[in-house]
Amino acid sequence: MPKNPTNEVIIEAIKWLNEIGCDEPLCIDKQSSHNLISDRYNINDEKKDLKYNNDVDLEKIDTMKSLEQYLLSKNIISDFNIPFYSGSEKADLMVIGDKPEDLNKKRPFQGKVETLLDAMLKAISFDKTNTYYTNLYFTPLSQSSKLVLDIIKKQIIIVKPKVIIMFGAEVTKILSNTEDSIFHSRGKWYDIYIGDNVESVTGISMFHPRYILANKESKKETWSDLKDIRKKLS
């Protein structure tokens, strides 16, 4: 009987949690094996048709709904069947990756990557109820680097996270304005400049779950980073 790749990742994630000392579920609602099966509810699933104005000004946007209207009005997205964001719109922790694995699925993090990410965050008591998830790139259309950065910063302003996880070198370089490789930036904290009259947000550079899946020896550094995040948010 062929192996189920998702089950293999779940088993590996449970082993990983046990290795780092997390030997029991951290949540009491909707439990599964160590709470690793994601709650498939996604706030994008309940979006209603939005009316929008072509004159929407990005500078004046202050809600996710108005940001969505802006993306529609500028033809950056054609509908909401794209992996734009998920999780809580008001969260202390914000997770930013580079790009989704599949643009046809609504979640920013998917498959094995999502399963491992769920395990990582649950180890420090975070999940989709108190975390905001997004990527730098969420559309197949080519966008200018300035627009990509503006949209990410607008999400940060709306969500108001206390800590941002920057997964991978590209995200770290764009948000922290550093040229360091991920092997030099990983584990370091940066002040992410948002704009004039807006307080900067602290962010940590981490290996992407995609990298961790391919390089199991990186689990030790990842757990160290997660403990730092937990300490920062406690």
Report the distance separating Cα 165 and Cα 30, nearest Å.
25
Domain boundaries along the sequence of the chain: 5-40+86-233
pLDDT at residue 44, as a whole number: 42
| Bridge partners (DSSP) listed for residue 131 | 93
The residue among 100, 110, 87 whose CA lies nearest residue 41 is 87
Q: What is the dotted CATH code of the domain comprising 5-40+86-233? A: 3.40.470.10
pTM equals 0.79
- Inter-residue contact 58 to 150 (CB < 8 Å): yes
Three-state secondary structure string covering 48-98? CCCCCCCCCCHHHCCCHHHHHHHHHHCCCCCCCCCCCEEECCCCCEEEEEC
DSSP code at position 49? P
| Bridge partners (DSSP) listed for residue 192 | 201
Per-residue pLDDT in tens (0 to 9) along the chain, 234 residues? 555 555 665 666 666 666 655 544 444 343 443 444 444 334 344 444 444 455 667 888 999 989 988 888 888 876 666 778 999 999 999 999 999 888 777 789 999 999 999 999 999 999 999 999 999 998 766 678 888 999 999 999 999 999 999 999 999 999 999 999 999 999 999 999 998 888 999 999 999 999 999 999 999 999 999 999 999 999
pLDDT at residue 2, as a whole number: 54
